[in-house]
Amino acid sequence: MSLIPLRATELVVDHRPWEWAVREQARIAAHWAAQAKGNSTLFDGRVLVAWHYEIVDDVLRGSCLETDFSKFLAWRDFGFPDTSIVNIFAMAALRAEDGAYLMGVMGQHTANPGRIYFPAGTPDPNDVVDGSVDLAGSVIRELMEETGLGTGDVTIGTGFTAIRRGPKLAVMRDVTVRGSADEVRARVRGNLAGLAEDELDDLFIVRGPGDLDPARMPDFIVDFLSERFRQDAG
């Protein structure tokens, strides 16, 4: 495990088909029908996944294709069978002024019920500007949609930190929010009822390694925060 500092990201979108999804379209359709039957709030929107990337001179470069969320969900739930595809996504590494980190607890109606991670989302066409994927903009959009916190509430760091685990490449951007962790949690909990997309049930506070929960947090989150706490202690 290693954290990779990035000074920039340069991801472009092309219009190639996802060959695996074309071959598996019948199986994907059946899987989506089963998922949607049990959760009527699921929406089969468009998302972006990477078919190529490299990191050279602290710059992440790559190419993405556009696909349906149903195909992305099937790829995930089938155990990531197409190893040529990587899920590259940006996350707001949200930290309060008292040094504690804050992550969302995903709602039971989402595709990741009960999971705990930073505000994030698979990029979609809303993140594309002049043919390029704006991961910095995605960080702010997801933060606002999930927590109600906007640019006036936070200080946004420069650059990113990338960490890969399997078919996932998380691209973290440090975001500091005014107030203590308890104050921020209370503020966000007050915001949740008024949000158009109520993805979160709560915020989870991580003050140190003892608060990490590998059973509910993705492995790359545990890796990222473990390394950050080691750096803080060192």
For the chain, the C-alpha Rg in angstroms (whole number) is: 17
| Beta-bridge mates of residue 162 | 4, 171
pLDDT band of residue 108 (cuts 50, 70, 90) is confident
pLDDT at 195 over 80: no
Two tokens, residue 129? 């500007």
Query: So what's the pLDDT on residue 196?
Result: 63
| Beta-bridge mates of residue 65 | 49
In this structure, which CATH number among 3.90.870.10, 3.90.79.10, 3.30.565.10, 3.40.50.1470 belongs to the domain 4-233? 3.90.79.10
pLDDT at 217 over 80: yes
Percent residues over pLDDT 70 in the chain? 99
pLDDT band of residue 111 (cuts 50, 70, 90) is confident
pTM, full prediction? 0.89
**What does the pLDDT average to over 38-56?**
91
- Exposure of 157 by Cβ count < 10 A (0-12 exposed, 13-18 middle, 19+ buried)? middle
pLDDT at 46 over 80: yes
| Beta-bridge mates of residue 141 | none
Q: What is the mean pLDDT of the chain?
A: 93
pLDDT at 121 over 90: no
Query: So what's the pLDDT on residue 1?
Result: 53
Query: So what's the pLDDT on residue 27?
Result: 98
Rounded (to 5) percent helix, strand, coil in the chain: 35, 35, 30
pLDDT band of residue 69 (cuts 50, 70, 90) is very high
pLDDT at 9 over 90: yes
SS3 for 185? helix
Would you say 220 and 165 are in contact if contact means Cβ atoms under 8 Å apart?
Answer: yes
CA 188-193-195 angle, to 5 degrees, is: 80
Residue 47's closest CA among 117, 113, 142?
Answer: 142
What lies within 8 Å, CB to CB, of 112 at 6+ separation is 106
Distance of alpha carbon 63 from alpha carbon 58, whole angstroms: 17
pLDDT at 119 over 80: yes
Two tokens, residue 187? 């503020």
pLDDT band of residue 218 (cuts 50, 70, 90) is very high
The overall longest dimension of the chain from CA atoms, in Å, is 53
Query: So what's the pLDDT on residue 112?
Result: 81
CA dihedral over 138, 120, 199, 28, signed as positive or negative: positive
Would you say 90 and 160 are in contact if contact means Cβ atoms under 8 Å apart?
Answer: yes
Q: Please state the separation of Cα 213 from the chain's center in Å.
A: 17
Q: Alpha helices, DSSP H only, in 39-100?
A: 69-77
